[in-house]
Amino acid sequence: MELIVFLVLLALGYFFGRMAESRHYRRIHKREKAYRRLLVMPQRIPPIDFARHDSTLVMGSVVISVDYFKTVAAGLRTLFGGRVGAYETLLDRARREAVLRMQEDAKRHGADAIYNLKFETSRISQNAGNALGSVEVLAYGTALLPTPDMRAERIANAERTA
């Protein structure tokens, strides 16, 4: 009986988890393409081109849960050692999603670039015990915003060339 429950959970985790993952990756790829123009740099100090910009803190965060299949697969993996692919994709998804949300935040402010990108990862495990329950990733950085003067100048330039 217990074995049946285990197998059902495993199957549910496998199918729904995979579905969620591929759906999430499709969404990530689409949005990464859309936000490619907004620079995100981990450098601490922006180049001189941004010396007159305004700045503000922007951030994005996401909590992603493991599925049952991943938990079991990773558990087996820890017996033999080696790469834990199940968790790699999970963290990859979380990081990229967090960066995208940060970029969305920056876009709302009308930013030109984001500098000094920092990541912060933490583990949230409620009833998972030693295993990974879910991860939270926070991405934050300083968005450089054009000043009102710069905006006016850009509009004027665009009109002149038009």
The residues that touch other proteins, with contacts defined as CB under 8 A, are 9, 12-13, 16-17, 20-21, 24, 44-46, 50-57, 59, 61-68, 70-71, 97, 115-116, 118, 120, 122-128, 133-134, 136, 138, 140-142, 144, 147
Query: 4: phi > 0 → left, psi -120 to 50 → alpha, else beta; which?
Result: alpha
Please, which residue, 108 or 161, has the CB nearer to other proteins? Answer: 108
Helix 85-109, helix 68-80: angle, nearest 10: 130
Which of residues 1 and 5 has its CB atom nearest to other proteins in the complex?
A: 5
- Cβ 2 to other proteins shortest distance, Å: 16
Q: How far is the CB of 159 from other proteins (least distance, A)?
A: 25
> How is the beta sheet containing 113-124 ordered, strand by strand?
39-40, 113-124, 134-145
